[in-house]
Amino acid sequence: MGVAAARHTSVDGILNFGGLSGTAFTGSTPAFSVLPVPYDLTASYISGMRNGPRAIIEASTHMELYDEELDCEPYEAGIETCAQMEATALGPEEMIKRVRAAVSGIIAGGRIPVLLGGEHSITLGLVQALLDKYPLLSVLQLDAHADMRDTYQDTPFNHACVARRISELCPIVQVGIRSLCIEEAEFLKRGEKAGKNARIKTHYATDVLKGINWKDVVKDLTADVCITIDLDVFDPAIMPATGTPEPGGLLWHDVLSAVKATAGSRRVVGFDVVELCPLPGVVAPDFLAAKLVYKMMAYVNASKNPGRSKPGRKRRQTAAFQ
């Protein structure tokens, strides 16, 4: 199917991820359901992440839909885009509750949820909904920040606490960390003493820069995995558009390698890309985020264990992982 035939802008002005129309997919159930969550009410430094999901979707309409690495058109698996969630002023806990309900609906429909943030606190709703369906879930977090505070700004549901809350529910593996407070560092050191039984494994950005073996990262993940990518895991040189940029970050192929290694040996049952804070006149970060989402779909779809509860049709094995 040609790109020209597959793309459109809907009459009400709401864009679909990839600019895809309903005619771009002929199967019974799309593999992926994109849920825009423009929420940023607990942002700590710069707000504007409410504009992230729209910027990602707009940029995605300019992507090539062919993946040269996997030699396929990943959109053929089916990508639908949900209406964006409305933000609530009732606080992050209420927003997380609403995200959980929306994601549960997506999972019940046999789709893999793909959330676009918005701030990182929304990931807790995604993880809660996935855990209801996949009790053996673990989380791979790519982030500059540990997000292990117990509370922040008087709430345990602040974006700075999201990994701590997740760690109370399931194992979590963090990659790219380079910014945390001393209480978080001490909390992580105490956890490390649990050795093999540790529920939290942290790989700092310096570990990646020294040359990390991604198999060592993946080995601590369970069979079913949720991937959460805070875009500030990238170096600000290529991703300046985040609310809290940190120097010394990962580059494009580092992050892709992490996702590829995970999707190649685990069932990825949902993922999110959060914290894009678009900069007026600078489109490269928006495009990076859009392409990252599409590459993640490509790797998950090419996996031998695609994370759908009810495959709607026989899946094309478009490429093998190395």
Should residue 143 be labelled a site residue for Mn ion when binding is judged by CB under 5 A? yes
CB of 43 to Mn ion, least distance (A): 11
Q: Closer to Mn ion at the Cβ: 230 or 286?
A: 230
Should residue 40 be labelled a site residue for Mn ion when binding is judged by CB under 5 A? no
Should residue 235 be labelled a site residue for Mn ion when binding is judged by CB under 5 A? no
Judged by CB under 5 A, the stretch of 68-76, 226-234, 287-295, 310-318 that binds Mn ion is 226-234
Among 50, 54, 111, 145, binds Mn ion (CB under 5 A): 145
Judged by CB under 5 A, the stretch of 51-59, 91-99, 139-147, 163-171 that binds Mn ion is 139-147
Judged by CB under 5 A, the stretch of 42-50, 57-65, 191-199, 231-239 that binds Mn ion is 231-239
Q: Are 53 and 36 within 8 A, CB to CB?
A: yes
Count Cβ atoms below 10 Å from residue 117 Cβ, excluding itself.
Answer: 32
CB of 212 to Mn ion, least distance (A): 19
Size of the site for Mn ion (CB under 5 A): 5
Sequence-ordered list of residues with C-beta below 8 angstroms from that of 12, at least 6 positions apart, any chain: none
CA 95 to chain centre: 17
Q: Closer to Mn ion at the Cβ: 224 or 230?
A: 230
d(CA 207, CA 240): 22
CB of 74 to Mn ion, least distance (A): 27
* Contact characters 87-126, Mn ion, x per CB under 5 A: ----------------------------------------
Q: Closer to Mn ion at the Cβ: 40 or 230?
A: 230
Should residue 50 be labelled a site residue for Mn ion when binding is judged by CB under 5 A? no
Q: Are 296 and 63 within 8 A, CB to CB?
A: no
Q: Closer to Mn ion at the Cβ: 228 or 301?
A: 228
Considering just the CA atoms, what is the radius of gyration of the chain in Å?
18
Instruction: Give the nearest residue (CB) to Mn ion.
Output: 145
CB of 243 to Mn ion, least distance (A): 8
Q: Closer to Mn ion at the Cβ: 76 or 232?
A: 232
Should residue 246 be labelled a site residue for Mn ion when binding is judged by CB under 5 A? no
Should residue 232 be labelled a site residue for Mn ion when binding is judged by CB under 5 A? yes
Q: Closer to Mn ion at the Cβ: 20 or 144?
A: 144
What six digits make up the tokens of 98?
């609403």
Judged by CB under 5 A, the stretch of 17-25, 145-153, 260-268, 309-317 that binds Mn ion is 145-153
CB of 46 to Mn ion, least distance (A): 12
CB of 187 to Mn ion, least distance (A): 17
Q: Closer to Mn ion at the Cβ: 37 or 72?
A: 37
What is the SS3 string spanning the chain? CCHHHHECCCCCCCCCHHHECHHHCCCCCCCEEEEEECCCCCCCCCCCHHHHHHHHHHHHCCCCCCECCCCECHHHHCEEECCCCCCCCCCHHHHHHHHHHHHHHHHHCCCEEEEEECCHHHHHHHHHHHHHHCCCEEEEEECCECCCCCCECCECCCHHHHHHHHHCCCCEEEEEECECCHHHHHHHHHHHCCHHHCCEEEEEHHHHHCCCCHHHHHCCCCCEEEEEEEHHHECCCCCCCECCCCCCCECHHHHHHHHHHHHHHCEEEEEEEECECCECCECHHHHHHHHHHHHHHHHHHHCCCCCCCCCCCCCCCCCCCC
Should residue 230 be labelled a site residue for Mn ion when binding is judged by CB under 5 A? yes
Binding interface with Mn ion (CB under 5 A): 143-145, 230, 232
